[in-house]
Amino acid sequence: MKIIGLTRIRNEAYIIGDTLDHLSEYCDKIYVYDDASTDNTVKICKTKEKVCGIIEAKNWSPNREVAETENRQALLKFAQQNAAKDDWFVYIDADERIEFDWSLLKTIKANGIKMRLFDFYITAEDVNKNYKERKWMGPEYRDILMAFKNSDELKYNGLNQRQVTLPKNNRVVKMGYVKHYGKAISVKEWESTCDYYGKYFKAYSKKWLKRKGKAIHTISDFGCKLIQWHQKKQYGKLLK
């Protein structure tokens, strides 16, 4: 049994080295879909020993709800060419870090693992620090399918589908945690994220455009008091 890391990226030079180092801690192999980066993201990926393959897209599609699903499906199929039936895939975005005991995969009776994902934020006390030094996050979490066992029935086939569709009669367990730094990288990246979702995703456009100029937080985006990582079990609550 091997653990195979998957990540879909674009212009992540500021963070992709950390991302691949994180995946390398528990993955045997890593496959990357680069969505037509214009910086040196791909060059950095090629320096990482466990990166076994990179899909280098040449054209970027503005139809993001379709493109992001198709990219994930292409990456999955690409990685499956060299995967065994008992291998596990782990899919993360470049701004995510997982906390999980991967030795449990040897005994777990499931083919999917959902993990609690928490958003970290920039605050006035750490605005000038590296994103990995952020201390504050929202208490809200989402249960996201982060790891799944290899199968011919796996597929990404919806609009903007983040979580893979598992085979019929699947069993999913909830274990592990994810630190999501997408809102905490930097003030500049926050503004870029607001513009990105505002322009390309109708379902989220109004919400994200209202967030422009509000990178520094005193409460979460959902109006709750911020907590720290060690408080996640005590105060964490499912985002509805």
Residue 240 has a pLDDT of 83
Overall pTM > 0.85 = yes
Determine phi and psi for 32, rounding to 5 degrees. Answer: -125, 140
| 75: enclosing H helix or E strand | helix 64-80
Q: What is the pLDDT of residue 144?
A: 98
Amino acid in the structure at residue 9: I
pLDDT of residue 140: 98
pLDDT of residue 208: 97
Instruction: Assess contact for 89 and 150: CB atoms under 8 A.
Output: yes
pLDDT value, residue 120: 98
DSSP secondary structure letters along 169-216? T--EEEEEEEEE-TTTS-HHHHHHHHHHHHHH-TTTHHHHHTTTT--B
Mean pLDDT for each consecutive 10-residue tract of the chain (240 residues)? 97 97 98 98 98 97 95 98 96 98 94 98 97 98 98 94 94 97 97 96 94 98 98 96
- What does the pLDDT read at residue 57? 97
H/E/C letters for each residue in 105-129? HHCCCCCEEEEEEEEECECCCCCCC
Residues paired with residue 9 on neighbouring β-strands, in sequence order: 34
Specify the residue for token string 């979490």.
Answer: 141
Closest CA relative to residue 19, chosen from 95, 89, 71: 95
What structural domains does the chain harbor? 3-238 (3.90.550)
